[in-house]
Amino acid sequence: MTLHTVSELLSNNNILPEVEIKGWVRTFRANRFIALNDGSTINNIQCVVDFEKTDETILKRITTGAAIHIKGELVESQGKGQKVEIIVKSLVILGDSDPETYPIQPKKHSFEFLRENAHLRTRTNTFSAVMRLRSALSFAVHKYFNDHGFFYMHAPIITGSDAEGAGEMFRVSNLDAKNPPLTEQGAVDYSKDFFGKETNLTVSGQLEAETYAMSLGKVYTFGPTFRAENSNTSRHLAEFWMIEPEVAFMDLAGNMDLAEDFLKYVLKYVLTHNREDLDFLESRLLDEEKTKPQAERSEMSLIEKLDFVIDNNFKRVSYTEAIDILRNSTPNKKKKFKYIINEWGTDLQSEHERFLVEKHFKCPVILFDYPANIKAFYMRLNEDGKTVRAMDILFPGIGEMVGGSQREERLEVLKEKMAALDIDENELWWYLDLRKYGTAVHSGFGLGFERLVMFATGMTNIRDVIPFPRTPQNAEF
Amino acid sequence: MTLHTVSELLSNNNILPEVEIKGWVRTFRANRFIALNDGSTINNIQCVVDFEKTDETILKRITTGAAIHIKGELVESQGKGQKVEIIVKSLVILGDSDPETYPIQPKKHSFEFLRENAHLRTRTNTFSAVMRLRSALSFAVHKYFNDHGFFYMHAPIITGSDAEGAGEMFRVSNLDAKNPPLTEQGAVDYSKDFFGKETNLTVSGQLEAETYAMSLGKVYTFGPTFRAENSNTSRHLAEFWMIEPEVAFMDLAGNMDLAEDFLKYVLKYVLTHNREDLDFLESRLLDEEKTKPQAERSEMSLIEKLDFVIDNNFKRVSYTEAIDILRNSTPNKKKKFKYIINEWGTDLQSEHERFLVEKHFKCPVILFDYPANIKAFYMRLNEDGKTVRAMDILFPGIGEMVGGSQREERLEVLKEKMAALDIDENELWWYLDLRKYGTAVHSGFGLGFERLVMFATGMTNIRDVIPFPRTPQNAEF
């Protein structure tokens, strides 16, 4: 007899005379009803023990968290709340769980407490649902790109180039940490380091992905990226996963279409494949909302939010239009914004983005054609000479979900921009080669995967959507 | 009119009056026939230019590597070698490619040269085929696990634990590299570092994956791992991608079944979905073999090798049996091995593994039940007290493809082994928790993804199967 999973048995419509299952006890009540979970689904299967025929020492060991092995018969359930249940014929304790010390009690734990027990938190309904959704979203990402003719490329994690300037980087080294070798000039002599030069953890695989787009056509990366920024907020991680598609011959409009289609696809995917986990998270959120004052509760439930994104066109607004809207907005006039919008050219703060998305348009917004001087060097300069073909996609409650651009494909323009920013051409000789040999319009975007998981699960702290979060002062596990 | 891809047009059976395509010139001959490639397939589409009606300055710019935009009519081809071709009606040069300086000439380049031009090497047939296969294998990995009820988990890359001891690690830090803060005792004061402790790049996600297996049941990781080993060989990378499934309630036999089924599935996947790339790589290998003496040529072609693995059971042999075979083997008796096998307990060298796989069994081999003292601390001790439930899968031409084990699930046994190896319990408190609360038999394995890509593509240098290889003295791009 092969082992069944809870998920299989619960979706089974027939009774089965012989079933075998292994899992962990969630609860045991009335010395009779075991709620058993094996991680395959948010739902438990009820296993009914005949306590009169079961050794009392065994009954005492059926505690929350214990691993057990059950053989029995799958029957229609007499009780409420489940269609089927198992009548236990044989029960073996595989691994005990001392109810006095087991950290995951059958009660509500704070997310802070569970973060400190991140190795056990997927034994709770909330975190098992979140991580199953994270897995399903990952698969949806790969499936979308694969079905659309993209090739997955693994961008390097350790990089010798620090040209992108997307943020502070972590140094990777195996020089003696206390007494590094020094050059004659007294600087650390990285020529003696493992790679013969100074190396860091990547902040983005985009530049490398461009080399693949300019040969394979449509590519994407999906891998870890890093920021050594001392941001102790609910939206920042030092280590996070990023998705970066890059497409040859695609312009900024095509880039917007791709990002919108992609986001709708992956959200639709989990609505179809992970409905039970979403239902659970939706009701969790509703419970949480009840503790808030009416005015702070959200207008839509979790699933309504996902449906709303899938069913509606994202609003496309140029930076210039957005500045006009903001300048004339009530919070700007009444000086309710921390940063008052006076003139064209200022960078938007999160308060402005939230106003546009949550108050003004009330839907996902794609802002495009930003001022050149607030965006990265590789973005395509528009004919106006002052804006670049950049886009940011802003989501309600999340802020920036996607940042992308059409890339500067003209060698001379790119060189000028690099020179203006003091970026060494010798550092990026290979990137310039793409503009020397067979250059063409191309575009791409980056999407922080954890932001997507937050949106899809309704979790509000980014540390709760990645298995083992890395943040300032914390690299536990 | 939307842009077509070469792949779409070549698989089209109808003529089409209007097609539009963008790509890069591979060759241009007789002022008439452009072989155009856009990365979507190994094959080029022939575009026929009417040179009498085309401006001569344009004709001169149709050079290898140039990006061009073509509109025309898809017709049945008059020539040999292709079913369809495009009669060009309009041709625009998007990006020139100076034939005097373009590194990728229409001729054979050495792999060494192409490694130095890794940003352009996917513009060759060989590397585009290899990287499309790498992408397809990645997708097959995700699809296999997804279809079999596994959840993908992202193990952390930056780790504060150095307990696994799988190899030398890279330090991750943003302390001042030249003058790090020191403790009163004069050691580097990592409490002042970003994470408040010494951190490194992970060598394996296994221990973290175990925490997820013991809650979600079946999980896998697929992410980058690192070794700071100064191995300048064709089989070692400092940064490589690893696949690590981990399954609760699965023993070593189940682990072997899983690994064998998985390997067969992913190889079958590319045989079905990437036949043209494999055909190309097979003929490339055959050409290469012709330059070798008869005795060194392989008995099977690339595709025959893949079929062989798919069609045959892997041979399962205990370490003890393997030692007997090796001890009595001709190379051992004639002292042809560099390391002569005398007694039970010695670790096998690559020469021994190759003998077993390539000479003795002539098929993939699963060796299991190794001596405890040559294997990692977390492997399940057998009842004999001297062997552990470890397995290695050995492939012809590759050596170790998979290394796995059933994990030690007994708290006291695990603690004893850790104590014997001086592994601090406080470092792995969370790993021990898995044995304290609801422990159960569980198993998993690790597969170096690049080894798999090497086997599937017939490439013999691991630097040629990852986009931008990281090796000692090299972190270019």
Residue A1 clears pLDDT 70, i.e. is over it: no
- The predicted pLDDT at position B79 comes to 80
What's the rounded mean pLDDT across residues B368-375?
Answer: 96
Whether A257 has its CB under 8 Å from any CB of chain B: the answer is no
Whether B102 has its CB under 8 Å from any CB of chain A: the answer is yes
User: How far is residue A194's CA from residue B226's CA, in Å, rounded to a whole number?
Assistant: 12
Helix (H) / strand (E) containing B47: strand B45-48
Residue A165 clears pLDDT 70, i.e. is over it: no
What's the sign of the alpha-carbon dihedral A422, A236, A225, A456? negative
Whether B97 has its CB under 8 Å from any CB of chain A: the answer is yes
Picking from B132, B198, B467, the residue whose alpha carbon sits closest to that of residue A159 is B467
User: How far is residue A9's CA from residue B334's CA, in Å, rounded to a whole number?
Assistant: 59
Could you please report the per-residue DSSP string of B360-390?
II-S-EEEEEEEGGGS-TTBPBPTTSSEEEE
Residues of A with CB below 8 A from B241's CB? 154
- The predicted pLDDT at position B241 comes to 98
What are the pLDDT digits (tens) for B101-145? 999 998 899 999 999 999 999 999 999 999 999 999 999 999 999
- The predicted pLDDT at position A14 comes to 83
Whether A221 has its CB under 8 Å from any CB of chain B: the answer is no
- The predicted pLDDT at position B163 comes to 64
Q: Which top CATH class is B123-168+203-464?
A: alpha beta
Kindly indicate the confidence band of residue A161, based on its pLDDT and cuts at 50, 70 and 90. Answer: confident
By CA distance, what is B231's nearest residue in A?
A194
**Which of A215, A431, A434, A463 is the mutation pick for testing B, counting most B CBs within 10 A?**
A215
Residues of A with CB below 8 A from B122's CB? 211-212, 215-216
- The predicted pLDDT at position A79 comes to 81
What are the pLDDT digits (tens) for A374-406? 999 999 999 999 999 999 999 988 899 999 999
By CA distance, what is B223's nearest residue in A?
A223
Q: B-contacting residues of A 411-430, CB under 8 Å? A: 430
What's the rounded mean pLDDT across residues A157-173?
Answer: 84
- The predicted pLDDT at position B167 comes to 75
Residue B253 clears pLDDT 90, i.e. is over it: yes
What are the pLDDT digits (tens) for B63-109? 999 999 999 999 999 888 889 999 999 999 999 999 999 999 988 99
Rounded to the nearest integer, the mean pLDDT of chain A is: 95
Q: B-contacting residues of A 145-204, CB under 8 Å? A: 146, 149, 151-161, 168-175, 177-178, 180, 182, 187-188, 194-197, 199, 201
What's the rounded mean pLDDT across residues A256-273?
Answer: 98
Picking from A402, A451, A455, the residue whose alpha carbon sits closest to that of residue A271 is A455
Residues of A with CB below 8 A from B431's CB? 119
What's the rounded mean pLDDT across residues A431-456?
Answer: 98
User: How far is residue B449's CA from residue B141's CA, in Å, rounded to a whole number?
Assistant: 10
Picking from A136, A123, A5, the residue whose alpha carbon sits closest to that of residue B213 is A123
What are the pLDDT digits (tens) for A271-326? 999 999 999 999 999 999 999 898 888 889 999 999 999 999 999 999 999 999 99
Residue A162 clears pLDDT 80, i.e. is over it: no
Spatial neighbors of A288 by CB under 8 A, at least 6 apart, are: none
Classify B174 as helix, strand or coil.
coil
Contact B406, B391 (CB under 8 A): no
What region does B167 belong to: left with phi over 0, alpha with psi -120 to 50, or beta?
A: left
What SS3 string covers chain A? CCCECHHHHHCCCCCEEEEEEEEEEEEEECCCEEEEECCCCCCCEEEECCCCCCCHHHHHHCCCCCEEEEEEEEEECCCCCCCEEEEEEEEEEEECCCCCCCCCCCCCCCHHHHHHCCCCHHHCHHHHHHHHHHHHHHHHHHHHHHHCCCEECCCCCEECCCCCCCCCCCEEECCCCCCCCECCCCCECHHHCCCCCCEEECCCCHHHHHHHHHHHCEEEEEEEEECCCCCCCCCCCCEEEEEEEEEECCCHHHHHHHHHHHHHHHHHHHHHHCHHHHHHHHHHHHHHHHCCCHHHCCCCCHHHHHHHHHHCCCEEEEHHHHHHHHHCCHHHHCCCCCCCCCCCCCCCCHHHHHHHHHHHHCCCEEEEEEEHHHCCCCECECCCCCEEEEEEEEECCCEEEEEEEEECCCHHHHHHHHHHCCCCCCCCHHHHHHHHCCCCCEEEEEEEHHHHHHHHHCCCCHHHCCCCCCECCECCC
Distance to chain B for A200, nearest Cα, Å: 8
Residues of B with CB below 8 A from A119's CB? 208, 211, 430-431, 433-434
**Which of B28, B195, B197, B242 is the mutation pick for testing A, counting most A CBs within 10 A?**
B195
Are the Cβ atoms of A195 and B159 closer than 8 angstroms? no
- The predicted pLDDT at position A298 comes to 84
Q: Which amino acid is at A195?
A: F
Q: Which position has the higher pLDDT, A163 or A205?
A: A205
Rounded to the nearest integer, the mean pLDDT of chain B is: 95
Kindly indicate the confidence band of residue A78, based on its pLDDT and cuts at 50, 70 and 90. Answer: confident
- The predicted pLDDT at position A163 comes to 63
| Largest interatomic CA distance in chain A | 86
What's the rounded mean pLDDT across residues B248-261?
Answer: 98
CB pairs under 8 A between A and B: 331
Residue B297 clears pLDDT 90, i.e. is over it: no
What are the pLDDT digits (tens) for B28-73? 999 999 999 999 999 999 999 999 999 999 999 999 999 999 999 9
- The predicted pLDDT at position A166 comes to 64
- The predicted pLDDT at position B295 comes to 83
- The predicted pLDDT at position B48 comes to 97
Q: Residue B345, Cα to own-chain centre: how many angstroms?
A: 31
- The predicted pLDDT at position A455 comes to 97
Kindly indicate the confidence band of residue B265, based on its pLDDT and cuts at 50, 70 and 90. Answer: very high
Cα Rg for chain B, rounded, in angstroms?
27
Q: B-contacting residues of A 260-279, CB under 8 Å? A: none
- The predicted pLDDT at position B217 comes to 98
Kindly indicate the confidence band of residue B200, based on its pLDDT and cuts at 50, 70 and 90. Answer: very high
Nearest to B97 among A139, A224, A437 (CB): A437
Residue B23 clears pLDDT 90, i.e. is over it: yes
- The predicted pLDDT at position B1 comes to 63
Cα Rg for chain A, rounded, in angstroms?
27
Q: Quickly name the fold that domain B3-102 has.
A: OB fold (Dihydrolipoamide Acetyltransferase, E2P) (2.40.50)
Picking from B132, B467, B232, B392, the residue whose alpha carbon sits closest to that of residue A223 is B467
Distance to chain A for B40, nearest Cα, Å: 6
Kindly indicate the confidence band of residue A13, based on its pLDDT and cuts at 50, 70 and 90. Answer: confident
How is residue B189 annotated by DSSP?
Answer: -
| Predicted ipTM beyond 0.95 | yes
Whether A466 has its CB under 8 Å from any CB of chain B: the answer is yes
Kindly indicate the confidence band of residue A12, based on its pLDDT and cuts at 50, 70 and 90. Answer: confident
Q: Where are the domains of chain A?
A: 3-102, 123-168+203-464
What are the pLDDT digits (tens) for A215-251? 999 999 999 999 999 999 999 999 999 999 999 999 9
Q: What is the share, in percent, of chain B residues with pLDDT greater than 70?
A: 99
